[in-house]
Structure 1
Amino acid sequence: MRVLYAADRCVIDQESIKKPSKTDSVAHRFLVKDIAFQAGLSTATVDRVLNDRSGVRHQTISRVQAAIAELEKQQIGAEVSGRKLAIDVVMETPERFSTAVRDAFEAEVATFLPTVFRCRFHFAEVMKQAELVQLIDRIRLRGTNGIVLKAPDVPEVVAAVARATEAGLPVVTLVTDLPNSSRSAYAGADNRAAGETAAYLIGAHFGGAPGRVLVTLSSARFRGEEEREIGFRRVLRERYPLIGVTEISEGHGTDAATGTLAVQAIAADPAIDAVYSIGGGNRAVLAAFEAAQRPVRVFVAHDLDADNRALLAARKIGFVLHHDLRTDARSAFRAVMGRSVRGGSAPSALSSVEIVTPYNMPATG
């Protein structure tokens, strides 16, 4: 039986349940009586769940799943209790987002005591491909317990990840995945679903009327941004065919470069009247509209960083698609811990996407 983590929920791989074997207790590492004690159920009931027998309530199955998840957490915690694990966080991203990631990782460290995580951050707003590859290789050779990586999905980076995993290091991709690499796990949101949500919000706002959306990407090299755009375009095409798309890319999320691209796009197309900001640089995009004296009917952005909090509070943007970076940090820590004590691949974990408006913006911290 395999236990899969999705954010803080535990679900059991149903395919593996449907094919029980005499080695089940070995496969999930826990005795039936231990699971029963943790769940507050009888051993007979737990046995029925583990062997997928009929007549078991959904709530009972959920209790067994939660019990296994807690035992798994306790086991990992016991195996690494008191250990110090170094993690290198490598990101090519704008400073406003790297600051939010640093805050999330540093806040989450305290929840794993007595295991101590020491995070070493390697951030750059723009990083040459060769520099990024050299950095990953240098970290591998210097020594670390794991690498958390936000990087472009290009062959050179995939090869660097392979060298790290072949050396026994877990590599966890953060917010943008490298699905064709040997990475150990992905920690982040379902980016395609996030793009679909953005299309729904914008389409509903237009109410069947025609419009044109400026879609901003930091770079087409990031798989996560590509997935968001794919989901966005699909929903517009199927449900809101009167809404068109103008795309700008390679501004790297910085205000200067993104602003220049936005000015050019707005000047070239007078029909643009909405924004889906995948890659950031939102202050500069808004400034471009203001300079052209063009209104923005609806603006959907990603990530509740300091800039977007201020813009949302000022009603400059309408919606922020937010996922909890602390959940991502927690998933990354768990993946590294699990790999450190037992080897093998860790399952990916998806954090949920929340639609934030000026009226439900969560407090900082």
Structure 2
Amino acid sequence: MKHPYRIREIAVQAGLSQATVDRALHGRAGVRESTIREVRQAIADLDRQRDQVRLAGRTLLIDVVVQAPPRFSAAIRAAMEAELPALRPAVLRARFHLLDGSSVREVASVLNRTGRNGSHGVILKAPDHPQIVAAAAGLPVPLVTLVTDLPGSPRITYAGLDNHAAGATAAYLIEQWLAGRPGDVLVVRGRGTFRGEDEREAGFRAETRRRILEVTDDGDKADTVRRELDALLSVNPAIRAIYSLYAGAGGNAAVVEAFRDHSYDVFIAHDLDRENTALLRARKLSAVLHHDLRTDLRRACHAILQAHGLLPGPIRTNPSAVQVITPHNAPPVEF
């Protein structure tokens, strides 16, 4: 593997020993394929963060642990790497642990290994589960929760959307669109114990008196959503509004397809990704509730810098405000 980095830099980025990295780089026997992949990923991360690596000054390494569908994990990686060059006064580098469909035990296992090997902080998006909270409690470095909170953990702050307010906003928009007309509401959510989704649903239910029917994407599979909706619509034709409060890959497109023979008046979703932008432009979504991941990650990094005494002031939790995106203020290009 050709690279311009010192073995020590790669070892820190990969979370491996220098001896292991040396064996992997030189193709020596006894190195697992998974270890070789970790070394290659570390070099790729260093390539993307090359400007940060070359800057002078104190360097802080942050572990970013994310359990999410690949498209959302990729959005977090892109947002973090876009923020890194502007963060000061220290030089920040990121080490990513992106988990798709992992069990609670696997997430806890990753947490038990992170926060060490040169780490100065952890940014975590994971379910609010006792096993994960316990693993978070063992971290030797500052922890910031991202997008969905773990209030029982020793996190120094939460960076992300005010999820309860977002759910209430969805209910308000639906009532405005329906304008007093009768109709049931479909809520689509993901599997698991993400507090952010629970807070969105609680905020939504608190602001509507309509009958709510719920479909759960069990395993982040669009075809599961489609099958459940086909069965639901066959016996509940009075659904006039849809609120999708999760970020499952292909889920919102599957909902639209399931309603091909049923009309609806309003469809509210979350996150302005490529899929939702296309659905919004096609008028299949009425509005998208969005928040800026770059702002969330900037706040998370600032909190870690404050925890290390590198930025002044107390660490505060200021959840992001929800942005209502319609076809008229959607971005001009897909991203």
Distance 2:219 2:149 in 1: 17
Find the counterpart in structure 2 of residue 285 from structure 1: 255
Task: Return the match for 1:117 from 58, 73, 92.
Answer: 92
Aligned counterpart for 2:154 among listed residues 169, 175, 182: 182
Give 1:310's aligned residue. Answer: 278
1:156-196 deviation digits (Å, cap 9, x = unpaired): 111011101xx2x1111111001122111100011000000
Q: Which of 55, 79, 82 is equivalent to 1:104? A: 79
Determine the C-alpha separation between the residues in 1 that align with 2:178 and 2:219: 29
Alignment partner, residue 21 of structure 2: none
Question: Residue 185 of structure 1 contacts residue 345 of structure 1 at CA under 8 Å; is this kept in 2?
Answer: no
What residue number does 2:186 align with?
A: 214
Query: Which residue does 1:324 correspond to in 2?
Result: 292
Matched, 1:129 2:129: no
Whether 1:235 aligns to 2:224 is no
Task: Quote the Cα distance in structure 2 between the aligned partners of 1:264 and 1:100.
Answer: 33
Is residue 2:150 matched to residue 1:138?
no
The structure whose Rg is larger is 1
| Cα distance in 2 for residues equivalent to 1:230 and 1:361 | 27
More divergent stretch after superposition (320-329 vs 215-224):
215-224
* 1:154 aligned residue: 129
Q: Matched residues in 2 for 1:264 and 1:346: separation?
A: 49
Structure 2 SS opposite 1:105: helix
Q: Which has the higher helix share?
A: 1
Could you tell me which amino acid in structure 1 is paired with residue 325 of structure 2?
V
| CA 212–287 in structure 1, closer or farther in 2 if over 3 Å, else same | same
TM-score for the superposition, normalised by structure 2: 0.77
2:259 is paired with a residue whose SS is: helix
Please show how residues 1-365 of structure 1 align to structure 2 within 5 Å.
Answer: 82-113=57-88, 115-164=90-139, 167=140, 169-236=141-208, 241=209, 243-280=210-247, 281-290=251-260, 293-341=261-309, 346-362=315-331
Query: What value does the CA root-mean-square deviation take over the aligned residues?
Result: 2.2
Instruction: Assess if the C-alpha contact under 8 Å between 2:271 and 2:288 holds in 1.
Output: yes
Distance change (3 Å), C-alpha of 1:331 and 1:254: farther
- Separation in 2 of the partners of 1:267 and 1:126? 30
Deviation at 1:220, TM superposition (A): 4.6
Cα shift at 1:124: 2.5
The number of residue pairs the alignment matches comes to 276
The TM-score, its normalising length taken from structure 1, stands at 0.71
Kindly provide the CA deviation profile for residues 207-238 of structure 1, in whole angstroms up to 9, marking residues without a partner as x: 112111110111250101000000100100xx
Counting aligned pairs with the same residue, the percent is 45
TM-aligned CA distance change 1:317 to 1:223, over 3 Å: same
Q: Point out where structure 2 has 5 or more consecutive residues left out of the alignment.
A: 1-54
* Structure 1 residue 342 displacement after superposition: 6.7
